[in-house]
Amino acid sequence: MTPAPPASVGIEDRLLTFAVSLLVGGGALHVGTHVVSDAQDYAHAVLTALLGALVWAVLEPVPLLGELLAIAAWIGIVRWRYQLGWWHSAGVAVVAWMAAVVILAALELLGIGQISALGVPGA
């Protein structure tokens, strides 16, 4: 008996994965800004996550210094969007990464493992 071929992933599934990943990344950023400073609304965090993901996607492939440039630009976006200093923005980045790891681990326990935290590098 021949095993069945893997089911193809449709555009709806990809859009749903993108949307949930963006919401997870926005949630992690919202937690990070709430811990480090006075957080704005959740929609602000989701848009910041989207902008951060776009900048990360453009800069990360740069040879040799791509990851360093991407993380600096991502922290710069957090700094710009939340009107924070560099140290506070780096603090938001660390807390957002930790929150994303916890959120993704909880989703994995629930059996949802194809999700990432879009807009939070390394999560």
Residue 4 pLDDT? 54
Tell me how far apart the alpha carbons of residues 90 and 81 are, in angstroms, rounded to a whole number.
13
Identify which of 2, 82, 100, 15 has the alpha carbon closest to the alpha carbon of residue 45: 82
- 7 within some domain: no
- 54 within some domain: yes
C-beta of residue 48 within 8 angstroms of C-beta of residue 77:
yes
Residue 116 pLDDT? 82
For residue range 53-104, list pLDDT tens digits in order.
899 889 888 888 989 999 999 999 999 999 999 999 999 999 999 998 898 8
- 45 within some domain: yes
Sequence-distant (6+) residues with CB within 8 A of 42 are 26, 27, 30
Residue 89 is inside which H or E element, if any? helix 86-109
C-beta of residue 55 within 8 angstroms of C-beta of residue 77:
yes
> What total of structural domains would you count in the chain?
1
Q: Give residue 33's domain range.
A: 21-110
- 67 within some domain: yes
6, pLDDT greater than 60: no
- 119 within some domain: no
How many C-beta atoms lie closer than 10 Å to residue 16's C-beta? 13
The pTM of the full predicted model, rounded to 2 decimals, is: 0.81
Residue 51 is inside which H or E element, if any? helix 42-59
For residue range 16-46, list pLDDT tens digits in order.
888 888 888 888 999 998 888 877 788 999 9
- 123 within some domain: no
pLDDT band at 8 (very low <50, low <70, confident <90, very high): low
7, pLDDT greater than 60: no
- 122 within some domain: no
